[in-house]
Amino acid sequence: MKSSSPQQATWKTSDASPWWLRNSVYSEPNGDYKANCYLDLWRTPTSADTIQFNDGRCSYHARSYFCQPKRKPVPKPKPVPRPPPRQQGFYEKTFYNIKNMKSIPNLNYRRGSRNRVVKTVTYGNTGGKWSGFSAKDNFAVRWMGHIQINKRGNYKWRLGSDDGSWLYISGRLVVDNNGLHGYRKKVGSKSVAGGVGIVLEFFEKGGHAGMSFAYSGADSRNRFVPVGGGYSKVYPDFR
């Protein structure tokens, strides 16, 4: 007399939970039971395995009867939200109102005036303001990120800037384009593989301003392309 027995498999509880009367064979009801009659919880059971019932030709009556409690429905787990896509690009920190610069100032102890993430470091040489910048002169910028190099090898790294700029890869100065000058390009080389840290620094005293960062190697089909511009993935470093 249980839900897993084939003879009683069609008897189901309202909440579909398993049910049982006893696990061992018992001779009651013995043939004198009729539908919709009460069964007597006969004698005093000492455990779930000693429960006995008697039909008694439908002579039993009661205001209550033995039953299993209704199982509380198990709440459906809440769907786990997908994490937002990982942001790509360089973390850009801008420092305004720095006067009388002749080279890149020490930015380590300065508080940035504005922070954001940019996909690439590509600012055309112009006498006006760069997009998103509130000043066109007397400012400095630091960009930080991690580039993922897929194919190990020797890569060329190019900076074009007006005024000065630096490129550090894994803490090593790879391109030095510092000083007061018009827009010019410089190239350095460094063998890299996997994820490497990149720090760019730049300053603009006055006049025209421009800054671009590109690389060439196995990942870029040996062409100079903007770092983070589709051939490589760059993730911001928020230090």
Give the CATH number of the domain where residue 174 resides: 2.60.120.1560
Residue type, 107: L
Instruction: Report the domain count for the chain.
Output: 2
Indicate if 24 and 117 belong to the same structural domain. no
Encoded tokens for 130: 């760069």
Indicate if 9 and 50 belong to the same structural domain. yes
Indicate if 123 and 229 belong to the same structural domain. yes
Indicate if 15 and 41 belong to the same structural domain. yes
Phi, psi (5° rounding) for residue 6?
A: -60, -35
pLDDT (0 to 100) of residue 37: 76
For 66-208, list the strands marked E by DSSP: 90-96, 114-118, 122-126, 139-162, 165-169, 172-177, 184-204
In-domain check, residue 147: yes
Cα–Cα distance list, 21 to 1, 12, 13, 80, 225 (Å):
5, 13, 13, 40, 77
Output the CA angle 219-220-226, nearest 5 degrees: 120
Indicate if 39 and 96 belong to the same structural domain. no
In-domain check, residue 32: yes
pLDDT (0 to 100) of residue 4: 81
What is the C-alpha to C-alpha distance for residues 16 and 14, in angstroms, rounded to an integer? Answer: 6
pLDDT (0 to 100) of residue 68: 60
Q: What is the mean pLDDT of each run of 10 residues along the chain (239 residues)?
A: 76 79 66 72 75 77 64 85 89 96 94 94 96 96 96 96 97 97 97 95 97 96 93 90
End position of a domain, from candidates 16, 40, 74: 74
Indicate if 106 and 197 belong to the same structural domain. yes
In-domain check, residue 84: no
Kindly state the DSSP code that residue 27 receives in the 8-state scheme: -
Indicate if 39 and 121 belong to the same structural domain. no
Indicate if 129 and 46 belong to the same structural domain. no
Helices marked H in 112-160: none
End position of a domain, from candidates 74, 107, 127: 74
In-domain check, residue 8: yes
Backbone dihedral region of 230: left (phi > 0), alpha (psi from -120 to 50 degrees) or beta?
left
What is the span of the domain harbouring residue 227?
Answer: 90-236
Indicate if 42 and 130 belong to the same structural domain. no
Encoded tokens for 166: 């630096």
In-domain check, residue 112: yes
End position of a domain, from candidates 19, 44, 74: 74
In-domain check, residue 231: yes
In-domain check, residue 188: yes
In-domain check, residue 108: yes
CB-CB contact of 77 with 57 (8 Å): no
pLDDT (0 to 100) of residue 82: 87
Indicate if 213 and 149 belong to the same structural domain. yes
What is the C-alpha to C-alpha distance for residues 115 and 139, in angstroms, rounded to an integer? Answer: 14
Encoded tokens for 61: 């009556």
Instruction: Give the number of C-alpha atoms closer than 13 A to the C-alpha of residue 19, restricted to the C-beta side.
Output: 18
Indicate if 52 and 104 belong to the same structural domain. no
Helices marked H in the chain: none
Indicate if 115 and 230 belong to the same structural domain. yes
